[in-house]
Copies of this chain bind each other. A is one copy, B any other.
Amino acid sequence: MPRHQKPTLNDVARESGSSIATVSRAMSQPELVQPQTLERIREVAARLGYVPNRRARALASGQSETIGVVVPTLNSPIFSSTLQEMQRSFAANGFQLLIASHEYDAASETAALAQLVSHGVDGLIVVGAKRAPSALAVLKAARVPIVQLWEGSADHDRVTVDNHQAGYLAARHLVDIGHRNIGVICGHLLNNDRQSARVEGIRAALEKDGLTLARTKISEQPLTISAGRAGCMTLLQMLPRPTAIIGTADLLAIGALFEAQGRGIAVPDALSIAGIDNVDVAAHLSPSLTTVDIPAANIGTEAAALLLQRLRGENTGPAARIALPVTMVVRHSTARAPG
């Protein structure tokens, strides 16, 4: 019987002389079938190379063992660490990840969410809380557990990182060592509440000391090293020149560092530079980068744990919140303000 189709439950049932229901049980609830029958079925299944069809299983059971994840980009060092850990946790529990990215475009995000929901994911992981009303509607209609990363709202489980605090710490550090004129290079603030919160944190720290963060001292840039350089160049042209620069993402700070060095400006003696994220390379640069550590990998682990609990029904309570700490990492790219 050389059929060239994949074998189905039916085939196994016929070959093993059991009913299709018994075979189904043998696959998913083996404790319900007699050991002897079970073994016979398993032997046949192995011989035929039977692999359960999850699409059918998903349709019948309403569970797809699939988690949808939507992130802004896949190739940022931060998100990719988070993803890596998330994938590890979910895979260990039999779940696959459907991953989409939207590159900070609201329409793409809505589309991605809609697609994932229509694919029937069992759970959803999203970054940030702020989003287009249409996207919110999609999430609402999805009727599956949702975990928000980074920033969250009270109506869903969330793993938050205090971005405001991260900005605050970075600015506080610089103010503490005498800086009064601080420039900021940040990502585009539209559709990005992580970046917005960091900038607000910086503002708060400055205002506490009676300083203000003028709009002109903020350079909005894409989140790349080159953009960091460009932002740095802009800020350095201002008079009086800032004595310190905060990049609200390490990539930006690193770009700024390179740009300053390229122009012969001594870091940290003539210019202090601080970042936020603590990416791998930050510790190795010279001078090593002062930054605020964001536990990116942990975010992934915790988010997976939270979602798995919901899926298993172990947590039916109100929306949980796991707030991960951010910590200042003072290295050698910052120093007391000159003069």
Structural contact, B84 and A118, CB atoms closer than 8 A: no
Give the Cβ gap from A17 to chain B, nearest Cβ, in Å.
25
Contact of A80 among B53, B80, B285 (CB under 8 A): B80
Contact of A54 among B91, B119, B224 (CB under 8 A): B119
Answer whether residue A320 sits at the interface, using C-beta atoms and an 8 A cutoff.
no
Report the bound CA distance from A323 to B117 in whole Å: 37
**A16-54 interface (Cβ within 8 A of B):** 49, 51-54
Q: Is the interface of A mostly helix, strand, loop or mixed?
A: helix
A63-94 CB mask vs B (1 if < 8 Å, else 0) is 01010000001111100110110011001001
Structural contact, A55 and B59, CB atoms closer than 8 A: yes
Contact of A99 among B87, B143, B225, B226 (CB under 8 A): B87
Structural contact, B53 and A120, CB atoms closer than 8 A: yes
Report the bound CA distance from A109 to B58 in whole Å: 23
Report the bound CA distance from A44 to B109 in whole Å: 25
Structural contact, B100 and A119, CB atoms closer than 8 A: no
Structural contact, A98 and B284, CB atoms closer than 8 A: no
Structural contact, B118 and A52, CB atoms closer than 8 A: yes
Known: A91-B112, A120-B54. A97 touches B96 (CB 8 A): no
Give the Cβ gap from A61 to chain B, nearest Cβ, in Å.
10
Known: A225-B280, A258-B286. A96 touches B119 (CB 8 A): yes
Known: A51-B114, A51-B118, A54-B120. A91 touches B100 (CB 8 A): yes
Give the Cβ gap from A89 to chain B, nearest Cβ, in Å.
12
Answer whether residue A281 sits at the interface, using C-beta atoms and an 8 A cutoff.
yes
Structural contact, A229 and B284, CB atoms closer than 8 A: yes
Give the Cβ gap from A64 to chain B, nearest Cβ, in Å.
6
What would be 21 A-B contacts, judged by CB atoms less than 8 Å apart? A51-B114, A53-B120, A55-B55, A55-B120, A74-B84, A75-B83, A76-B80, A80-B80, A88-B101, A88-B103, A96-B98, A96-B119, A97-B98, A97-B99, A97-B100, A98-B98, A98-B99, A225-B284, A226-B280, A229-B284, A261-B286
